């Protein structure tokens, strides 16, 4: 019965608040963090907490009650199960008109509009303050991963493929490819963005481009809500192996082997001829020396006394 009465009261307060001109505020929070939903009213003098009612609610009728404070006490009985043990008021600041709400462990399902309704009791309770707070939730739980060409080193002008993967992002991200060499934008060959079962988004994208001597490719994931860019770069140094490979492969051809054998044979024959010539020359020099010596000795014996 008490829960039913609280729901009727909240619906009445919502209808009453709808007639009041309210400036909407926006709060951005990241999944897993704590969000502070602002609701501030400047009193002439400090409030007496026993004379205050504070209602935080959403427009979701099936789960509308977020947090209630009634005449000095917090009442958790009508609170929606989605918010159990996840909400806090600044108890020491209520008398100064700070009715802001802390929402713990934010998740994607918390992204909605919240209403703060404050009543003060004179003779009866009347609404003195009403505020709308729009909670936007963001997630950047991973970094993009960029992969380059797989296999042998490509040649200049050859088409190469890069792939970029990213997951657990929210809201739906934007994807950009750039050539870091000249900071030019590149158009992806394939771009697929899917929403996973937990509400976050995953990105699968590929880029096909002709290889240049020195290239650095970047994949950028933009989160507009957080005004944040996550980037991964892949540098590729291209060396043209065509001539080098051809010269190396030539050593394995039959003609090249035959030519190598002939060159070795010619070298050996030349070496043998050189040795033979040196040996013959040495022998000739020795014979000439012997003849000279004999002639000298003969001349000595034939000299008259």
pLDDT over threshold 60, residue 136: yes
pLDDT over threshold 90, residue 118: yes
Radius of gyration of the chain (CA): 46
Residues 6+ apart with CB under 8 A from 63: 80, 81, 82
Number of C-beta neighbours around residue 21 at 10 A: 5
6 in a structural domain: yes
- pLDDT tens column, 137-161: 999 878 999 999 877 778 888 899 9
Cβ 205 vs Cβ 169: under 8 Å: no
Report how far residue 108's alpha carbon sits from residue 33's, in angstroms, rounded to the nearest whole number.
11
- pLDDT tens column, 65-101: 999 999 888 887 789 999 999 999 999 999 999 999 9
Examine the domain organization and report whether 104 and 147 are in the same domain.
no
With 0-12 / 13-18 / 19 or more C-beta atoms within 10 angstroms meaning exposed / middle / buried, residue 189 is middle
Give one word for 32, left, alpha or beta, with left for phi > 0 and alpha for psi -120 to 50: left
- pLDDT tens column, 216-233: 999 999 999 999 999 999
Residues 6+ apart with CB under 8 A from 129: 39, 41, 97, 99, 116, 117, 118
**What's the domain range around 93?**
2-138
Closest by CA to 165, choosing from 175, 179, 150, 151, is 175
For the chain, what is the domain count? 2
Report how far residue 37's alpha carbon sits from residue 9's, in angstroms, rounded to the nearest whole number.
22
Report how far residue 130's alpha carbon sits from residue 19's, in angstroms, rounded to the nearest whole number.
10
Examine the domain organization and report whether 124 and 199 are in the same domain.
no
Report how far residue 293's alpha carbon sits from residue 201's, in angstroms, rounded to the nearest whole number.
109
CA atoms within 13 A on the CB side of 87: 24
Averaged over 233-262, what is the pLDDT?
46
Using the 3D structure, point to which of 243, 266, 289 is the last residue of a domain: 243
262 in a structural domain: no
Using the 3D structure, point to which of 122, 138, 154 is the last residue of a domain: 138
CATH code of 149's domain: 2.60.40.10
Q: What is the pLDDT of residue 254?
A: 38
Cβ 142 vs Cβ 167: under 8 Å: yes
303 in a structural domain: no
Examine the domain organization and report whether 133 and 150 are in the same domain.
no
């Amino acid at each position: 019965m008490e829960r039913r009465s609280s729901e009727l009261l909240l619906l009445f307060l919502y209808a009453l608040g709808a007639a009041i001109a309210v400036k909407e505020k926006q709060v951005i929070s990241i999944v897993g963090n704590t969000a502070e939903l602002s609701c501030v009213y400047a009193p002439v003098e400090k409030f007496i907490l026993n004379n205050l009612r504070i209602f935080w609610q959403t427009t979701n009728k099936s789960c509308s009650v977020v947090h209630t404070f009634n005449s000095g006490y917090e009442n958790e009985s009508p609170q929606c199960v989605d918010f159990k043990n996840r909400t806090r008021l600044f108890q020491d600041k209520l008398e100064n008109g700070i009715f802001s709400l802390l929402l713990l462990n934010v998740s994607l399902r918390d992204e909605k509009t919240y209403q703060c309704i404050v009543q003060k009791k004179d003779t009866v309770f009347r609404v003195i303050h009403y505020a709308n707070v729009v909670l936007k939730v963001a997630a950047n739980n991973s970094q993009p991963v960029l992969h380059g060409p797989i296999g042998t080193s490509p040649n200049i002008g050859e088409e190469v493929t890069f792939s970029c993967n990213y997951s657990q992002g929210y809201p739906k991200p934007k994807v950009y490819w750039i050539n870091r060499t000249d900071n030019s934008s590149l158009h992806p060959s394939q771009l697929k963005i899917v929403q996973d079962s937990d509400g976050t988004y995953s990105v699968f994208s590929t880029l096909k481009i002709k290889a240049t001597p020195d290239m650095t490719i970047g994949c950028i994931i933009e989160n507009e809500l957080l005004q944040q860019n996550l980037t991964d770069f892949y540098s590729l140094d291209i060396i043209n192996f065509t001539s080098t490979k051809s010269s190396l492969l030539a050593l394995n051809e039959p003609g090249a082997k035959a030519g190598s054998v002939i060159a070795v044979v010619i070298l050996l024959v030349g070496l043998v001829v050189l040795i033979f010539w040196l040996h013959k020359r040495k022998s000739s020099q020795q014979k000439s020396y012997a003849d000279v010596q004999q002639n000298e000795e003969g001349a000595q014996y034939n000299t008259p006394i």
